[in-house]
Amino acid sequence: MKIKMLNNIIIFCSLLIFTSKAFSAKSFSTRTTAINKISYLISSGNSKKASVKLLSLLRFKEYNKSKPRVYFLLGLAFEKLQLKRSSVWALLESIKSSKGKGRYAQTSLTRLLLTANSIEDNQSIKKALSVMSLTRFPSKYRAKLYYILAKNYFEKRNFSKAVRYFFKIKRGNALYFLSRYFLANSLVEQGKFTQALRVFKKIVQASKPYTKMHTAALLGQARIYYQLKRWKRALKLYYNIPRDSEFWVEALQESAWTELRLNKLNMALRHFQTIHSSYYKRNYIPESLILRAVVYLKLCRYEEVKKILSIYNQEYKGVLSNVSWLLRKKRALYSFYIKLLRKKNVESWKAKLASSGPIKKLFQQIIGLAKERKKLRRLFSSRSLAARPVFKNIKSNLLYSKSYLRIAGELELVKMRKELINLKKQKDFIRYELLKSKQTSIKKKIAEKKLGIKKEEQEEDKRNYYIQNGYEYWPFQGEYWLDELGNYYYIGGSSCAR
């Protein structure tokens, strides 16, 4: 009797196992069929309906094992609906759910890289790579990945790691020249000037003349020679920057600095005059006014110094007050930047803030996320349980971007305030030197009258003094000549001891 009961139990258990396996096989077959039907909807152009169905499937426990494929298809559907940020989120979830292994992890990573790169979402790429090994990544897109990683390290000022990844991008790739440019700048930041010069020179030799990359490499070389105090070599390279280049104003200001180092005061003056002409009026360059005042002070043109300091006060004294006020009202920073970035014609200091790379990037992200949220609301109800994770992703990204815009905006303002405070100190020092020089000049004239020194002797002494000190000597009062591009040429000289 006991043996019979035992046999019955064994038979029952066998039947139970067989039934569960049969049910499991049937369940798997049903799941696969359902997903295949949705996949067909995407390929036939009905991505809207497909995305609704895929989000519904994710709510059922029996589809847990199929999550990598479901999320991948959802990412594909969102991509076709031009919902790029939601597509990146779905592809990232596909990689996470597969733990970075299997067919869909690799396919998802490839698509994620291309989509995330188009919207400059480096954060999602880093999250994906924390789950999945670089070696699993297709070699076809590896250079793109190296560039994104290197650029990310460069922005975080981790230059040693940036150099390592920039070096991995080989010649012949579309990103080669751009990666070499950032590689050279990374080497400069590490103080490896000789290596950086070598890279810049190779870019100049290999790139087409007058292109953006060619000009940027020339400017990079000039800056290195300036840091190495090889003023003449730096100046020659600054002069090679084309006037129609976007780097022209930077090169103009930096060449004026170099001319000042070489005591070529008249040449420096003509560049400062050009920078402050109406043609370049929208540029925020307070430093050049201070430098211009220094040159006039060296030439003993005291009235000109007073005028320049007066112009500086008119243009930049109020800027320091505005920047300080904004830093006190930190809660107003977000609305300030949003309004600023939507305007076209603004004051030079505001234009300078708006031109910051991180600020522009964050603004584009916020605008893109807001537009995507509107599109999603047309597809799904914001109360939909199935679509809740998608809306949650958009909301968290928006909060992050807004918060980071405040932080990045505050950093830009702090930087500007620090620069203006330093320039104010220099301006006050110039004013002190101006008063001191005026007193010395008056005392000298009184002494000359008492001693009865002749004018001819004074003129000859003055000529000898300026030749000895490397100044260009002109025996007449100076004037400016303006060319058709708004570039001034200074023809004049010193008023010292006249």
Answer yes or no: are the C-beta atoms of 70 and 35 closer than 8 Å: yes
Distance of alpha carbon 361 from alpha carbon 350, whole angstroms? 16
Token pair of 440 as six digits: 């010395």
pLDDT at 459 over 50: no
**Across residues 53-68, what is the average pLDDT?**
87
Using pLDDT thresholds of 50, 70 and 90, give the confidence band for residue 294.
Answer: confident
Q: Which residue has the higher pLDDT, 70 or 435?
A: 70
CA-closest candidate to residue 316, choices 348, 339, 293 = 348
Residue with tokens 């405070």: 421
Q: Which of 481, 482, 483, 485 is nearest to 279 (CA)?
A: 485
On the question of pLDDT at 66 being above 80, the answer is yes
Number of domains in the chain: 2
Mean pLDDT in residue range 472-484:
37
Q: Is residue 334 part of a domain?
A: yes
Q: What's the pLDDT at 10?
A: 54
Checking if the pLDDT of 202 tops 60, the result is yes
Q: In this structure, is residue 252 part of a structural domain? A: no
Looking at residue 482, what is its pLDDT? 39
- The DSSP output letter for 473 is P
Query: Is 498 strand, coil or helix?
Result: coil
**Best mean pLDDT range from 1-10, 358-367, 488-497:** 358-367
**Residue 355, domain member (yes or no):** yes
- Residue 483 pLDDT greater than 80, yes or no: no
Half-sphere exposure of 112 (CA within 13 A, CB side): 32
Higher-confidence position of 202 and 475:
202
Task: Measure the CA–CA gap between 319 and 440, rounded to whole angstroms.
Answer: 34
Q: Could you tell me which residue, 370 or 275, shows the higher pLDDT?
A: 370
Helices then strands, counting H and E runs in the chain, come out as: 22, 2
**pLDDT confidence tier of residue 214, bands split at 50, 70 and 90:** very high
- Could you give the CA distance from residue 204 to residue 227 in angstroms, rounded to a whole number? 20
Answer yes or no: is pLDDT of 455 > 80. Answer: no
Q: What is the pLDDT of residue 189?
A: 94
Dihedral angle, C-alpha 247, 250, 252, 254, nearest 10 °: -130
Banded pLDDT at 265 (limits 50, 70, 90): confident
DSSP letters spanning 164-218: HHHHTSPTTSTTHHHHHHHHHHHHHHTT-HHHHHHHHHHHHHHSPTTSHHHHHHH
Pick from 349, 274, 276: which is nearest to 307 by CA?
276
Q: Would you place residue 487 in the very low, low, confident or very high pLDDT band (cuts 50, 70, 90)?
A: very low
Length of the chain: 498
Mean pLDDT of 113-140: 80
Whose structure tokens read 């039934």?
Answer: 19
Identify the pLDDT of residue 468: 44
Least confident of 83-92, 215-224, 463-472: 463-472
Question: Under a CB-based contact definition with an 8 Å cutoff, are residues 489 and 474 in contact?
Answer: no
Last residue of a domain, one of 402, 418, 436: 436
Long-range contacts formed by 266-271: CB under 8 A, 24+ apart: 266/472, 266/474, 266/478, 266/490, 266/491, 266/492, 266/493, 267/472, 267/490, 268/295, 269/295, 269/296, 269/490, 269/492, 270/480, 270/487, 270/488, 270/489, 270/490
Is the pLDDT at 454 greater than 90? The verdict is no
Residue 3 is assigned to a structural domain of this protein: no
Q: How far apart are CA 187 and CA 370, in angstroms?
A: 39
Give the DSSP letter of residue 316: I
CA dihedral 471, 477, 482, 483 (to 10 degrees): -60
Per DSSP (E only), the strands in 61-187 are: none
Contact 66, 98 (CB under 8 A): no
With a cut of 90, say whether residue 418 has pLDDT above it.
Answer: yes
Residue 125 lies in a domain: yes
Check residue 22 and give its pLDDT.
Answer: 37
The answer to the question of residue 89 being in a domain is yes
Per-residue pLDDT at 174: 87
Q: How far apart are the first and last CA of the chain?
A: 134
Looking at residue 393, what is its pLDDT?
A: 92
> Last residue of some domain: 385, 419, 436?
436
Q: Residue 481: its pLDDT value, please?
A: 39
Q: Is the dihedral of CA 296, 298, 303, 307 positive or negative?
A: positive
Tell whether 222 is covered by a domain: no
Give the range of the structural domain holding residue 360, as residue numbers without chain letter. 314-436
Helix (H) or strand (E) holding 469: none
Provide the pLDDT confidence category of residue 466 given band limits of 50, 70 and 90.
very low
Identify the CATH number of the domain in which residue 79 sits: 1.25.40
Mean of pLDDT over the chain:
81
Q: How large is the average pLDDT for residues 58-66?
A: 85
Domain presence at residue 262: no
* Residue finishing a domain among 406, 436, 466: 436
**Across residues 277-281, what is the average pLDDT?**
59
Q: Please tell me the predicted confidence (pLDDT) of residue 488.
A: 40
Highest mean pLDDT among 87-101, 113-127, 253-267, 439-453: 87-101
| Between 355 and 438, residue with greater pLDDT | 355
3-state secondary structure of 361: helix
Here the tokens at position 471 are 């100044």
* Collapsed DSSP state (helix, strand, coil) of residue 242: coil
% of the chain with per-residue pLDDT over 70: 80
Output helix, strand, coil percentages for the chain, rounded to the nearest 5: 75, 0, 20
- State the pLDDT at residue 123: 83
pLDDT tens track for 127-165: 888 887 776 676 777 888 888 889 888 988 899 999 999
More confident: 274 or 21: 274
In this predicted structure, what is the pLDDT of residue 387?
Answer: 85
